[in-house]
Amino acid sequence: MPLLKKLVGAALILGGVGAVAGWLLSAPVKLDAETLAQLGPGDAARGKRIFNAGGCTSCHAKPGSQSDARLQLVGGLQLKTPFGTFVPPNISQDAKDGIGAWSVEDLANAMLKGVSPSGEHFYPAFPYPSYARMRPADIADLYAFLKTLPAVAGKAPGHSLSFPFNIRRGLGLWKRLYLSKEPVIAFPEGTPAPVMAGRYLVEGPGHCGECHTPRAFTGGTKKSEWLAGAAAAEGNGIVSNITSGEGGIGKWSEADIANYLETGFTPEFDSASGAMVDVQKNMAELTPDDRAAIAAYLKAIPPHPNGYQARRKTAN
Amino acid sequence: MRKLVIAISMLGLVGSAAFADPILDRQALMKERGKIAGGLSKVVNGQEPFEAAAVLTALQALQANAEKLDIDALFPAGSDAGDTTAAPKIWEDMAGFKAVHAKYLADVKAAVAAAPADVDALKAQFDTLGSDCGTCHQTYRIKKG
């Protein structure tokens, strides 16, 4: 059977080439020297703004902690998703259990490339596909602010994921599809400055799209339904459509949006719920200009109908 | 402010109407709560002038509303199914749910007892009440499509 032998041989060679290619293509890639050179010295006061815009405490504070205790970034929250349970780690300044021993370059590689100091991929439950759009100088500022926070001992437990999601290396291929520093929404020349500033906050540090945009089966966000609302990653609820499309916030004025981010109350005087409660508290720490910029951006993006399935109406 | 008082007097009618459906009843109470709070927020934001008597009336209306939210009657077992945004967590942790509502009621009563004399005093109370909304909704409410 020379033909069969040939075919088997060809399949083996192709398989081998595929495996090698897959291995090479999935390799973690760190930042280049040019990007690292843009980090600069970093400023803690400016970094505090980035810290609040990013809402780091929402995932990394000890679950259930309040006020100043939320600055103890010990991790340990359990994010139960269809892929398995993700546990945000300790990112306090503890040198052993946290990130106290990290350099600013380490933080930049983590946030902009999703790569750990030891050269492994992070899971995108850590929303680096959004952070990848951030300016390196803002990472340096954030690093300076994180340095002012306490060191807290205690390692959070590891993730508990099902196959094949437990293979970190596979994320290298995923990143080739979804990791980009390019903005999601392109605006023409002459777009007002607040819209552009809002785009940076929403698409970058604010990582709003991570929850408010529906995901493909691969786990990547659907840019064609950007911020259209989505089934919640945890539980059976939904995350609101924050475009001006049907079901969204088209009737809200920019002032309504800014007021919601400041106070947590909608124009109908309903209040934020679920994970948005903590997000809103972080947004309340931003300046009025930043909140107005976010509002301007949300009013400027393409409208979409709800990105989640309508609930079946139950008979009364 | 006169508008606020009129709105509250009209709400009284809504609040007293019994729907005999716990989901509709509790939703009516929460909507009423939002409307009263919304009126107060206009005073806090300076969109309407501070008038002590009208503000006190609004706070008293909030107290009456909170006292009407009888959790045992309005959140019976099984009423997480249907057209509701009440989270299953309510029935998993009924004691915790009751505790956050008890805190809200206590904060409303304290505001009524203190009878705010100026907008700053009202603002401090209003911030406390607003954070109570968030505390409860964070855990015990789930958004649905």
Q: What is the pLDDT of residues A254-300, one digit of tens each?
A: 999 999 999 999 998 999 999 999 999 999 999 999 999 999 999 99
- For B143, the closest of A265, A273, A309 (CB atoms) is A273
Percent of chain A clearing pLDDT 90 (strictly above):
81
Mean pLDDT of chain A: 93
**B109 touching A (Cβ < 8 Å):** no
Q: What is the pLDDT of residue B5?
A: 60
Q: Does B134 touch chain A (CB under 8 A)?
A: yes
Q: For the residues A185-214, what does the mean pLDDT come to? A: 97
Best residue in B84, B133, B135, B136 to probe A by mutation, most A CBs within 10 Å? B133
- Boundaries of every domain in chain A: 30-181, 183-310
Question: Which residue does chain B place closest to A276, by CA atoms?
Answer: B138
Number of domains in chain B: 1
Q: What is the pLDDT of residue B6?
A: 59
Contact yes or no for B137 and A272 at CB 8 A: yes
Q: What is the mean pLDDT of residues A233-240?
A: 88
Quick check: B35 contacting A, CB < 8 Å? yes
Residue B51 maps to a domain:
yes
Residue A312: per-residue pLDDT = 47
Does B42 reside within a domain? yes
Banded pLDDT at A316 (limits 50, 70, 90) = very low
Separation of alpha carbons A172 and A114, rounded Å: 10
CATH number of the domain within which B47 lies: 1.20.120.10
In a domain, B145, yes or no: no
Higher pLDDT, A18 or A53: A53
Residue B65 belongs to what H/E stretch?
A: helix B52-68
Phi, psi of A264 (to 5 degrees): 85, 5
pLDDT at residue A313 is higher than 70: no
Show the domain range for B7.
2-140
Question: Cα Rg for chain B, rounded, in angstroms?
Answer: 15
End-to-end CA distance of chain B: 36
Q: Do B138 and A311 touch (CB under 8 A)?
A: no
Q: B133 vs A264: CB contact, 8 Å cut-off? A: yes
Closest Cβ opposite residue B83 in set A239, A271, A314? A314
Position A88 scores a pLDDT of 97
What single-letter DSSP state applies at residue A6? Answer: H
B110 burial level (CB within 10 Å; 0-12, 13-18, 19+): middle
Q: What is the ipTM of this complex?
A: 0.80
> Taking 60 as the threshold, does the pLDDT of residue A220 lie above it?
yes
CB contact under 8 A, A274 and B137: yes
Name the residue among B37, B83, B137 with its Cβ closest to that of A273.
B137
